[in-house]
Structure 1
Amino acid sequence: MARAVALPLSSGIPLIWSLPDGRAWLSRNMALEVEQRRLFPWIAIFFGIGIVLFFQADGQPALWAPVGAFGLFGAAAIASRRHLTVFSILIALAALLAGFSAGAIRARSVAAPALTRLVIAPVTGFIETVEDREGGKRLLLRLTGMMGVADAGRPERIRVSVRSGEGLSPGQLIAGTARLLPPPQAAWPGGYDFARDASFKGIGAVGSMVGQVRRIDSPQRPGWSLWLAARVDEARNALTERIASAIGGAAGGVGAALVTGKRGLIPEPTNDVLRAAGIYHIVSISGLHMVLAAGTFFWVVRALLALAPGVALLWPVKKMAAVAAMAGATIYCIFSGSDVATERSLVMTLVMFGAILVDRPALSIRNLSIAALIVLAREPEALLGPSFQMSFGAVAAMMALVPLMHRPRLEGARGGFVARGVSWIGTAMLGLVTTTLVASFATAPFAAYHFQSLNPYGLIGNALALPLVSLIVMPSALLGVLAYPFGLDRPIWQFMGMAVSQVLDVSAWVGGFSGSTLVVPALGGAALVLLSLGLILVSVPASALRWMALVPAGAGLAFAATPDRYDVFIDRDGAGAAIRAKGGRLALVGRPSDFVAEQWLRADGDARNADDGSLRQEAKCDAAGCVVAAAGGRWVAFVQDFTAFEEDCRRATVIVTRLKAPPICKASFVLDGDDLKERGATTIRFNPETVELRSVRKGREVRTWAGKEVHRADVSSAPEIPRRARPVPEQDFPEEDLNASDESSTSRPMH
């Protein structure tokens, strides 16, 4: 490759910049990349690009096309393996097609029916998981029957809430009447799509149980997978209750979540405090917990084996400890619920300790790439989630910093016992602060894109809280789990609870700082791609080529600093909207749920809550609808009653309604109920000559201001506008059901 890059140009055109020097610089660095085997990580990168392309495709792509093309490029790569440049290009294309194929195969393997309308019907099913929540429980049911719905259209799983779930446990067969809704799509284009994630989990409906829930005797035993999932969840619930009762209060809920991954007992104010301090990630069983748990197993087993001189001198103690750590990490993953983040962390941990078994460096970008390939091949949809992006981004950035962190440790190894101790503490604190800072910068673009929030004091919160978690909480958790079968665990949980209480105190102190949580406008797709490319270029190359990261990173920051805000947000069924008033801030009209309204506000970089009175001040409303004076002298009307069309169609520039607008409506732009049924949640941006629409189902559209060519305008056959009609009913998705389906997966970053 270096020789190919260094070949002279055939055109021979002279350049002011020294082209030979540039080619020589590029040749030297490419040769170093090959020597350091840094081409392999690009396989994982192109694999991920293929997955992204699959999710951008319309409809259901054919499977034979990507699989066949992958085979052709793979065979061509094998045939040209002696030519490095051609071989590398063909391998990259084969990896891209492999990623596309993985997405297509995964989508077909998890395809399951989902409801398309509101259904109230008797259902029966096995309880797969039970999650305690404030005011009740939330159940994941594997259905065996649903009255009024054919087997072909019956969802495989549903998620329902019950107000009183006493006596319900995993593995039971229950029956009752359920009010079920289709899994809701994103509240705005670019927002979190619960329906997509639910489809990959086999969840075809969400809602609540109405009336009494009955336990019935099962005529047949559940399958082994359901039986195993039920037994694991039952054990998790029992341990969660024991830890929470032993510690008590909010610290009990946090302590239980750290061990079992069950976060339902954590009060919402405590969640807010942890988020504000930038340490909410500690309650999600992921990389930090897996590393601490596996590291504790590794250190304890290796230390015990080292106490026996015969074993230490004759046997590979380090490898034996690595095997024990791998087994312990696997058990911990299964017991903590095997969520996506936990499984991803387990794969990374197993790869790292597997490298020790084959005498390879454990912490390397190559091993991280192998872990990414395994995770994405198993669950391609994980690439689109914040958990994968934030964790792999943080680890990759920290690996790029590892060589710089070794130097102070070596220089501080001289001197006496006190000097070495002080040097060790200083190095540890420097490493903690540096890694936290690097991880914060690496994950900031993903936090801004998915959650529209940044925690500038997260460095302080992590520097104060993580030592407690690493040195006291997690080792105590391991000892508590080992003592649990003997009934000697309560004192250990209480000791752990004191450390957890200190973590909460630190979080409350840091979260109390002014500006501890910054709400920022949603990062655009172009900005996220450019910043991600900058992160890749600074992490993967081993040579000076990493300086190329400044170009996409700078462009990404420029895009992020000038976000394109939408002028109108419209709910998926037209129950409400947020319209940018002439003062520049959004005005709320209609009756969207608080959850949806706050999604709109965060996307706009607005820190107000949905119940803020100022959200309604700039809208002039009556029983028939609302009118908002927007920028540019435009009037936007939100019509809720047929009687409002006559006046609003004459005076308003834009009409938004969930009703069917009459064809004689003279407004410049009309978006009615038929449009919303076709598009789902929609946003509008006003331009001088055009109107730009983005919708969840149809993507980006550009229209002219000529509303008549947009709508079906046949004035000669237009019906009379009714003078009186019933008001539009409230939104079909009750707030409690929407929150129950969305909040567990979208609330905050987990990495």
Structure 2
Amino acid sequence: MGTQAAPLENLPPAPRGAAALQHGPWNSESHLSRGLAALERFLSEAGFDRGPWLTVAFGTGIIAWFGLPSAGWWLGFCGLLCALAVASFALAARCRAYPHVRRAILVLPLLMVAGCLAVWARSEIVGELPLERPIAGTFTAKVLDIQPQPALERDRLILAMREPGSGRAIKVRVNVPGSGIASRVNAGDVLRFRGRLMPPAPPMLPGAYNFARTAWFSGLAGSGTVTGEVEVVQRGSPGGGWLSGLRRKLSAHIRTRIGKDGAGIAGALVTGDRGGIAETDDQAMRDSGLAHLLSVSGLHVSAVVGAVYVLFVRGLALFPWLALRVRLPIAAAGAGALAGVAYTLISGSEVPTVRSCIGALLILGALVLGREGLSLRMLAVTAFCVLLLWPEAVTGPSFQMSFGAVLALVALSTAEPIRRFVAPRDESLAMRMLRHVAMLLLTGFVIDLVLMPIGLFHFHRAGLYGALANVFAIPLTTFIIMPLLAGALLLDIIGAGWPLWWLADVAIDWLMGIAHWFASRPGSVTILPSGGTGAFLVFVAGGIWLGLWNGRIRWLGLPFAIMGAGLLATAMPPDILVSSDGRHVGLVESGGARLFVLRQGGKGYARENLMELAGMEGEPVALDRWPGARCNRDFCAFVIKREDAKWRLLISRGRDAVPERALAAACDRSDIIIADRWLPSSCRPRWFKADRDMLQRTGGLAVHLSSQQVDTVADSQGAHGWWRPVTPTAARFSPEPR
């Protein structure tokens, strides 16, 4: 007989912790397996393109480089992601049943590392240290490029020269008053001129335009103005800069053939030269949501490529012998590709144009292969190519708006309800036209919803009637204005283009009439203060999730997109704005009704920045008119009430010497001191002191009194090459709570 099993109650007690040792690992592995299985099942059943997410990962690495403060952080970021990728091999040994999860853990971190290293490498290669200080004198330089700007009554030159003192080879950008220099010099000429050069300006205030970063990635060490006559010392070799010269000649030819008001718009559509557009027209185009028409991008390139493709297919089909022996779509695609590349080169090869050209070439390739042209994969490949060549473009509004609009268009067109709505059916011509108009309105509305938060984040203003304005403006531009301009240029070869020039001028007048009418409607423009970067990133993450997934899972991104847009739309203006030199101060009245400024002087860069960051229009009010303000020639004292608290401010307005004892006593009675001069250590306000010494380290300030938060320009710059504070090792500015 077999041995009888002992009753459970007769077994010896298990050692303490034995159950945990036996079941703990099993439980954790079971939970891990269930989680991985659910994730694997979701990824395998989602039915989405993997390619776009690779581009998103690459772009995320680029954004991380801009957001992280220093090289140590960048290396740590890359090291952590590489460790995660290595861990995927350990996961592969134990979890062979989850291929999608393993590939995601391996590939996505490596692409994020690649993005971070790509923008870091480009920064090191093209970045140029700025001038150490402003320089005035007589300079000798070689012309690299010429940009006529007749609407601003000046020309802009890109020059190569030696930095005075150090002898370093640098590239600078200078403005030449008047409009005659562009006709007298060519690329390659050596000039001598008297002028003033400045280091590229960092943001004047937190959230303002960062010209220093743009100049860094453009290789510019400085910018300035010519203050005397320009002398041509040596002529360059013939043919130097022929492409730039061709573009200028085309712009000049257009200005001689069309009316003054329409010449700037025509030049922008043909050559991408926006220097001839009047300021009022430019503002009207922005406020009406039509500014994208002035930037040569997807609409213009697709119109040129599409027109050439159709003309070649129809034209070659007229010759039966040729049509029977040549695949007409391939020949037409080749002609369209050549036209797109030529148009991109002539229009200046800006990032939006290059992006559109790459996209057009991919669509032509898809048509030749018999595949769908407009797809998320095409968009992802185009974006990856642009980011690989110009990784810094990911932070700019042009890249974000162009790819955001196309992503919205692709996501909308591939949605099942939209496919059913536009599917062919037996109906009258009138119903088909109404259906197309409805789709055009819906597309414009969705694209406007996508672009409005981007415009608010970068420009602090957005047009509200853009969808309706584009219904009229896009067909007018695509099917009337651009064909008329192309035909007029071709007929000018035989001197017969004047009828088309006249018609083009009339059509451009219609376009500008549409822009000015919509821009002048009540409530046509929304102006809001600067929103936070965090809110914008939440909106972008939600929008990407909405655009890249299929099915119901995509709607998980909607709450994040709405939350990010809502945070941008409800952002409150700072209570106090201080420029980086301390000379320009703005106080926002409670409720955001008015902006009081320290210095008034008509329109200017400083005033525009203060008004934009405060989210206001109209005329600012002099600071000495603040209720209860007490001012003399040296200082102004104010009391700001926020909720139940009172804040006492002392702001410098003069440069005369002030007795130190009197100044120290005034500082003791104040919570905040703001001055464009150096203040002695005996000046100790209750909260913080923003004098010249501190502002040189922190840059401009945005002060929120209710939360006792002070945002500085330095907070968003880190140790990137374009940021050069006076004391680079200075600690982060964080005043103690009052």
Match of 2:652 in 1: 639
8 Å contact 2:599–2:622 — kept in the other structure? no
- Distance (whole Å) between structure 2 residues aligned to residue 380 and residue 620 of structure 1: 51
**Aligned pair partner of 1:85 in 75, 92, 101:** 101
Residue number in structure 2 paired with 1:259? 270
Which moved further from structure 2: 364-373 or 154-163?
A: 154-163
Shift of 1:478: 2.5
The alpha carbon displacement at 1:209 in A equals 0.7
TM (norm. structure 1) is 0.83
Aligned to 1:471: 479
Q: Residue 175 of structure 1: SS of its match in structure 2?
A: strand
- 1:140 aligned partner: 157
- 25 and 317 in structure 1: CA distance in 2 versus 1, 3 angstrom threshold: farther
In 2: Cα distance, 1:215 partner to 1:697 partner: 45
Partner of 1:674: 693
2:702 is matched with 683
User: Is the partner of 2:221 in helix, strand or coil?
Assistant: strand
Worse-matched range after superposition: 119-128 or 450-459: 119-128
- Give CA-to-partner distance per residue, 1:178-199, whole Å, 9 cap, x none: 2111111112122210110011
- Write the distance in 2 (CA, Å) between the matches of 1:329 and 1:290: 6
CA distance in 2, matches of 1:11, 1:70: 23
Contact 1:169 1:234 in 2 (8 A): no
1:34-93 Cα deviation digits (max 9, x unpaired): x44x22211110111100111123345699888888888888879969832111111100
Q: 2:681 matched to which residue of 1? A: 663
Question: In the alignment, is residue 324 of structure 1 matched against residue 341 of structure 2?
Answer: no
- Pair 1:364–1:277, CA change in 2 (3 A): same
Alpha-carbon deviation of 1:290? 1.2
* Structure-2-length-normalised TM-score: 0.84
The whole-number CA distance in structure 2 between the counterparts of 1:462 and 1:583 is: 34
1:211/1:23 CA distance change after superposition, 3 Å: closer
| Pair 71,231 (structure 1): closer, same or farther in 2 beyond 3 Å | farther
Question: Are the counterparts in 1 of residues 699 and 712 from structure 2 also a CA contact under 8 Å?
Answer: no
Structure 1 residue runs without a partner (length 5+): 1-7, 14-19, 707-751
Aligned pair partner of 1:214 in 231, 240, 256: 231
Pairing of 1:74-153 with structure 2 (within 5 A): 83-127=99-143, 128-134=145-151, 136-146=153-163, 148-152=164-168
What's the offset of the Cα at 1:406? 4.1
Which digits, 9 at most, give the CA deviation of each residue in 1:314-362, with x for residues without a partner?
A: 4322222222111111100110111122222222222222222343321
Is 1:375 the counterpart of 2:414? The answer is no
- The answer to whether residue 198 in structure 2 is matched with residue 155 in structure 1 is no
Among all aligned residue pairs of Structure 1 and Structure 2, give the percentage whose two residues are the same amino acid.
26
Shift of 1:164: 5.2
Provide structure 2 residue ranges, at least 5 long, that are not aligned to the other structure: 1-25, 718-731
AA matched with 1:407: R
2:618 is aligned with 1:588: no
**Matched residue, 2:667:** 649
**Residues 342 and 568 of structure 1: is their aligned pair in 2 closer, same or farther, counting only changes over 3 Å?**
same
The amino acid across from 1:473 in the alignment is: I
Question: Which residue of 306, 315, 319 maps to 1:304?
Answer: 315
Q: Give the letter for the 1:109 counterpart.
A: I
Separation in 1, partners of 2:373, 2:579 = 49
Alignment CA distance shift 1:652-1:234 (3 Å): same
| Pairing 1:608–2:618 present | yes
Does structure 2 conserve the Cα–Cα contact (< 8 Å) formed by 1:680 and 1:695? Answer: yes
Q: Between 126-135 and 189-198, report the one with greater CA deviation.
A: 126-135
Change in Cα spacing, 1:233 to 1:84, as seen in structure 2 (3 Å) is: same
Larger mean CA deviation between 66-75 and 357-366 belongs to: 66-75
Q: Which moved more, 1:532-541 or 1:375-384?
A: 532-541
Aligned pair partner of 1:198 in 196, 211, 215: 215
Question: Is the CA contact 1:188–1:696 (under 8 Å) kept in the aligned structure 2?
Answer: no
Counterpart CA distance in 2 for 1:442 and 1:537 is 13
Quick one: distance in 2 between partners of 1:481 and 1:616? 58
Contact preservation (8 Å) 2:541, 2:560: yes
Amino acid at match of 2:734: V
Give CA-to-partner distance per residue, 1:158-177, whole Å, 9 cap, x none: 23333353443331321111
Question: In 2, are the aligned partners of 1:569 and 1:684 still within 8 Å (CA)?
Answer: yes
- Seen in structure 2, the aligned counterparts of structure 1 residues 531 and 64 have a Cα distance that, compared at 3 Å, is closer
With over 3 angstroms needed to count, the CA separation of the structure-2 counterparts of 1:449 and 1:306, relative to structure 1, is same
- Taking the aligned partners of 2:112 and 2:630, their CA distance within structure 1 comes to 53
Secondary structure at 1:155 match in 2: strand
8 Å Cα contact 2:596/2:621 also seen in 1 = no
| Structure 2 Cα separation of the partners of residues 75 and 221 of structure 1 | 55
Aligned pair in 2 of structure 1 residues 687, 705: CA closer, same or farther (>3 Å)?
A: same
* Distance across 1 between alignment mates of 2:53 and 2:220: 34
**Are residues 1:488 and 2:496 paired?**
yes
Q: Indicate conservation of the 8 Å contact 1:691/1:704, yes or no.
A: no
The aligned runs of 1:547-562 (5 Å cut-off) are 547-562=555-570
The residue correspondences of 1:526-565 to structure 2 (distance < 5 A) are 526-565=534-573
Match of 2:12 in 1: none
Write the distance in 2 (CA, Å) between the matches of 1:9 and 1:540.
35
Comparing 107-116 with 42-51, greater Cα deviation is found at 107-116
- Larger mean CA deviation between 200-209 and 381-390 belongs to 200-209
Q: Decide which of 188, 191, 206 is 1:174's aligned counterpart.
A: 191
**What CA deviation, in whole Å up to 9, does each residue of 1:354-412 have, x standing for no partner?**
22234332100011001111000100110000000011011101101113444344344
The alpha-carbon distance between structure 1 residues 77 and 299, as it changes in their structure 2 partners (threshold 3 A), is farther
